[in-house]
Structure 1
């Protein structure tokens, strides 16, 4: 049986956000074939039902010679994403159109500048052909003069066909490999740089005035750090950072040889700009660091159930705290290790993550392992109560990784670190993509380091204890502190600003008149007073409020209770609010031993 599936992707009509796919299936041994589209994309743990975007689909056979005519074959839809066709083993062609209007890095999107397409939202799989070679032609609609200057970009290997200005040819050795290469077709800026023999390409949608040389210069030591950490054998020779620029938006999704990013265009450095790195630019570098780290840790080192996951339904694991959590530790610490940011800036970023946890009552109800398992619903489908009921396996997982590194150093007199554990994961599981068991961390630490970390993991991973940073960070040469917030937009970290005196216990945003309640935190004054989500606070003790005036009035309250006036679903209400002193739920670190911190940051 021929083992080649041939796909043709055509940018059909960007005005209608549509592309078309033609799939040629060769002669085969089965009377019936099943066609299906994944319902989720690896790395993003939520069922997205990509097949809902298929507009029309048909199957034809015949026309192998001048005397034959095309014959339509009936398709039977079996479920939301699966079709069956009776082919009698004959070659056939599947044609379908897809609606692409999801501006994210998980699906497909098309506008007047570009088309971005993930294979999971575009390419049907064929039963009996899961391990077949997949060939792809990408072509433009030749009748559309507005896209004649578009070009195709992907990390998928190029096929050795002759290419024209309106057609590109690629190949993958299996369907799983095929759908792991996101595709960009359109107008783009590109910039290439080399790190230790690995070729990197930066791609940004549209034409921009972004300082790509500066970004490449800052990413170079970050990429080198990750390459050096995991060492031989090299996982890649080429890598593509593919960034969709928008007015707003944020996201990143890892692939084996590329990453797809979504980022605000004016949060990146422009040509001619000088000065210190902005917080938003540091966040972009950290995002790149995070997704590139996944090249090893997620795409090759992975939970055992993710080696060959069922993309038609949820695949559960309680290990995401290891994968997203450890990566969340390395994405930021790498910037400090390589000198891209100062040590104090790194400590402030860690403090912001800790502050996020300290404000989150959900951390006392859900474990990091449970958060991993429930990612499909509780994490990826959060509602306004999430902060009170769940914990992030990203945020707590990153703090768990920091604590584990400090614990390993303390128990080994600085002879063992988390870096060494990552190298063991790569050597024992990543190179051959074997898949890790749930107890992999405690097992490796005990077997290779003779350090028992099970009690620590029982407390902070399988239990709801906070990581005892105050007793661990001395290994870094720093002290851990907490303080009240200094303003409504305080994220944590070292500051010289005066703290607020009293605390509402809710997140507010400006409304056309007054302040809208968008979060209410468990155990604080707002919830005790009966303030609800979407209430609009308009006055405090008879004085009309905005964001600045509200906090000032609350801090200067002379009585133990104040009168809150608000609108709820068209009704005017007055509620008594207890005046409660602000709690110390903002974290910060101070450096006590600069030499010790520098040593900790050195690999």
Structure 2
């Protein structure tokens, strides 16, 4: 067999019918003198833990060997076997349909093409280490290509990847996007804006640079030569997906000029940029080298994603977009959100991480009762751990020191970390055992001791609902075609105990027609805990009356206040924790 080092792979990407959401792919493999070659498409995208079956969008697969038609067959859901008969040149053509708007899936129309590489490019089986080139031929009238891939000198819109992991980690935007650059931490950053919007480029250059510099300050180095932000501006947009030297962000095009909208965008930028270190380089051992055919299980997404959610708060604080009070308030809300999730009493942070593949991206009407997001639980675990470390070291150390040490350790060992190694580093930096902490908050479902931890840092926490007897039925509802339907029922609530179901059409409460959200009805909000109400529903076309005994609202509403009379020790802990 020909040595793999002599094998070359090149792609040509073009568009004939972008208005119908298609990209035309040509894959050229040279130097591989085998009887056959299997080419595969990944079934998932790193950073988004769900088998998405990208191969379902492939059409018109054809192959030639030395210029002559070659026999091929599908040998697996995501693999095609091409019988090359030892031909030195194999050309494969196929089309991909792309019409799903998200940061992790490809989308093409008459205005632009967003190519999420795992759902576009195939690779020769067993040869993920091969380099490749990608030539993009923009559709007529399109003039720009934005990607983190390295350009090939002297060749327009042609790029190279050292291996397929890098190619699969490099999304590509093609069209007429608005492009601007800024320099930060010695790195050129390019921002490619699609979809218009009321953003101020000069303001974004300054403020995005602040976040870059705050992230770099934690780790002491910025590992990129260049970095690309691909931003899709929609009427209502959100979400992001991290890549090695780029990210894709979803934003609302007309929200940049409101304080809430702008801060939301800064939080998103901070989150995805922080991933540059956490997960893209400092990663759980299961997340690389990737198996693109199957699930890649880890119990550590509470660190990879949850801590990143936590650190977006620290970056926007240190960059000056919020003050200490705003920081404390945001985290108090995060704590309350987890505490108010019934599933947080059922599923641990480690379990949530492992089950991302079957639960995290497939929520149903009962998800809130059976699980908790590794994003939200991880954010709170990061908060508690950070304060615990600062308290144990009198403000001299923080979670920042753990993250930097783990990043440098991974760089030295050239591999990911285990859960035990992460715990060991926390204990090394803090000088104390975290076995009890792990049992409570990582592998267990212990109630959050937020009073204790915020207290270490001189922050008073008040539950505004404490001592109040607020009547609560425990349902979420939605309006469809003028009718009100129950969309969720909270575990152990009045509705749960007394038999109301998701998909029940709510007709009336105590004879009063229901026209909007149930919880806001005066007949409920004006009642007392213990009162019995009659809820008439239509279930499967039949009307039924349910007697529902109202319980007290179990949810907490936390207000954080920085204590002006905090001790010197508390102030030291707070300063070490916040880093400002």
Q: TM-score over 0.5 for the alignment?
A: yes
Instruction: Work out the CA distance in 1 between the residues paired with 2:195 and 2:236.
Output: 15
Q: Per-residue deviation at 1:55?
A: 0.9
Matched, 1:238 2:226: yes
- The 1:508/1:114 distance shift into structure 2, 3 A limit, reads same
Is this contact kept in 2: 1:5–1:134, CA < 8 A?
yes
Q: Per-residue deviation at 1:15?
A: 1.6
Is this contact kept in 1: 2:54–2:119, CA < 8 A?
yes
Is this contact kept in 1: 2:454–2:460, CA < 8 A?
yes
Deviations 1:488-518 (A, max 9, x none): xxxxxxxxxx989311211123344453211
Deviations 1:449-472 (A, max 9, x none): 432112101111111113311111
1:555 equivalent in structure 2? 525
Q: Per-residue deviation at 1:381?
A: 1.1
Structure 1, 257-266 or 39-48: larger mean CA deviation = 257-266
Is this contact kept in 2: 1:305–1:316, CA < 8 A?
yes
The alignment partner of 1:374 has SS state of: helix
The alignment partner of 1:346 has SS state of: helix
Matched, 1:100 2:98: yes
2:456 equivalent in structure 1? 475
Is this contact kept in 2: 1:511–1:536, CA < 8 A?
no
Is this contact kept in 2: 1:483–1:584, CA < 8 A?
no
Deviations 1:172-215 (A, max 9, x none): 11111111110000121122211132111222113443222223
- The 1:49/1:548 distance shift into structure 2, 3 A limit, reads closer
The alignment partner of 1:304 has SS state of: coil
Is this contact kept in 2: 1:153–1:185, CA < 8 A?
yes
2:439 equivalent in structure 1? 458
Matched, 1:579 2:550: yes
Q: 1:186 aligns with which of 159, 175, 184?
A: 175
Unaligned runs of 5+ residues in structure 1 are 63-69, 142-146, 270-275, 486-497
Is this contact kept in 1: 2:211–2:315, CA < 8 A?
yes
1:277 equivalent in structure 2? 259
Instruction: Work out the CA distance in 1 between the residues paired with 2:127 and 2:480.
Output: 55
Superposition pairs for residues 413-492 of structure 1, below 5 Å? 413-430=394-411, 433-484=414-465
Q: 1:248 aligns with which of 227, 236, 241?
A: 236
Deviations 1:571-594 (A, max 9, x none): 222211212232342223122138
The alignment partner of 1:250 has SS state of: coil
Q: 1:27 aligns with which of 24, 31, 37?
A: 31
Matched, 1:268 2:256: yes
1:84 equivalent in structure 2? 81
Deviations 1:248-281 (A, max 9, x none): 3422110010001122222223xxxxxx612x33
Q: Per-residue deviation at 1:246?
A: 1.8
Instruction: Work out the CA distance in 2 between the residues paired with 1:128 and 1:393.
Output: 32
Matched, 1:348 2:329: yes
The alignment partner of 1:306 has SS state of: coil
Instruction: Work out the CA distance in 2 between the residues paired with 1:511 and 1:57.
Output: 42
Is this contact kept in 1: 2:401–2:429, CA < 8 A?
no
Q: Per-residue deviation at 1:397?
A: 0.7
Q: CA RMSD in A?
A: 2.1
Superposition pairs for residues 36-115 of structure 1, below 5 Å? 36-62=40-66, 70-90=67-87, 91-115=89-113
Q: Per-residue deviation at 1:31?
A: 2.0
**TM-score (normalizing by structure 2):** 0.93
Instruction: Work out the CA distance in 1 between the residues paired with 2:135 and 2:358.
Output: 37
State the aligned residue count: 567
- The 1:359/1:447 distance shift into structure 2, 3 A limit, reads closer
Instruction: Work out the CA distance in 1 between the residues paired with 2:204 and 2:540.
Output: 48
Is this contact kept in 2: 1:514–1:544, CA < 8 A?
no
The alignment partner of 2:236 has SS state of: coil
- The 1:334/1:343 distance shift into structure 2, 3 A limit, reads same
Instruction: Work out the CA distance in 2 between the residues paired with 1:285 and 1:306.
Output: 27
Instruction: Work out the CA distance in 1 between the residues paired with 2:126 and 2:403.
Output: 37
Is this contact kept in 2: 1:187–1:206, CA < 8 A?
no
Q: Per-residue deviation at 1:555?
A: 2.2
Instruction: Work out the CA distance in 2 between the residues paired with 1:582 and 1:172.
Output: 55
Is this contact kept in 2: 1:400–1:467, CA < 8 A?
no
Is this contact kept in 1: 2:58–2:97, CA < 8 A?
yes
Unaligned runs of 5+ residues in structure 2 are none
The alignment partner of 1:44 has SS state of: coil
Deviations 1:355-408 (A, max 9, x none): 221221111111111111111001111111000001111111111111111111
Is this contact kept in 2: 1:250–1:263, CA < 8 A?
yes
The alignment partner of 1:204 has SS state of: strand
